[in-house]
Copies of this chain bind each other. A is one copy, B any other.
Amino acid sequence: MKVETGLRARKKARTRRALVEGALRLFTQKGYEQTTLAEIAASADVSTRTFFSYFAGKEDVVFFDADDRLREALAMIGGRLPGESVAALLARVVEAGARWEDDLTGRLATERFHLMMAVPALQARALHLLFDSQRRLAEALCSAYPDEVDPVTAAAAVGSLVGAAKLAAVMSLTRGETPEQAWTAARRAAEIAAGGLQSLGRTP
């Protein structure tokens, strides 16, 4: 896993970033579907055809950092602290995800939220990515706790936590709340999920 450093690699990185920035700017300016690939490519001074050697499709530009984030989460699970419980580990992973910062990510996070809420195609892509991530996280969890966690348990743990958090966050945003409130809702939902549902529906 060596870090590329040649001229070629630097140029690629610059173009990639130009594509992301241009695309996100255009998307928020004129709307996602109103923006054509030709315009995005033009904004980064490459041909339309070249766009596809950087991203597999129009939607993927928006999730340019998904790979890195997943990689980080997987690394955290792989390097779990000895004696740490599954719940505690997953809590750490979620927390790290919430804090993720990055030149682009930080600056564009809010716009991306709005885009995702507004554009069905992006919602679908987001869910798909998130789901694939869950699958890989669950697998990693199995490997990290080979004696204690079987595949179904791992799926239950990851799916339940992420499922609860995601739904709570989106519903919060749909209700018109701020991204901060959404994060709070997500954490609370994750806690509820972690604690189990048995007690719900009878006033405590």
A156 to B190, CA, bound (A): 7
A196 to B156, CA, bound (A): 10
A158 to B195, CA, bound (A): 14
Inter-chain contact A156/B86, CB cutoff 8 Å? no
Number of interface residues, chain A, beta carbon within 8 A: 59
The smallest beta-carbon distance between A15 and chain B, in angstroms, is: 26
Given the complex, which residues of B lie within 8 Å of A114, measured CB to CB? none
Task: Check if A102 is an interface residue, CB within 8 A of chain B.
Answer: no
Chain A 189-201 interface mask (CB, 8 Å, partner B; 1/0): 1101111111011
Inter-chain contact A157/B86, CB cutoff 8 Å? no
Inter-chain contact A155/B201, CB cutoff 8 Å? no
Identify the stretch in A24-32, A40-48, A92-100, A121-129 within 8 Å (CB) of chain B at 4 or more residues: A121-129
- Copies of this chain present: 2
Query: In this complex, what residue of B is CB-closest to A137?
Result: B167
Given the complex, which residues of B lie within 8 Å of A160, measured CB to CB? 159-161, 163-164, 189, 192-193, 197
Which residues between 160 and 175 of chain A lie within 8 Å of chain B, taking CB atoms?
160-168, 170-172, 174-175
Query: In this complex, what residue of B is CB-closest to A142?
Result: B171
Query: In this complex, what residue of B is CB-closest to A188?
Result: B152
Given the complex, which residues of B lie within 8 Å of A9, measured CB to CB? none
Task: Check if A110 is an interface residue, CB within 8 A of chain B.
Answer: no
Given contacts A155-B185, A170-B135, A171-B151, contact A86 B200 (CB under 8 A): yes
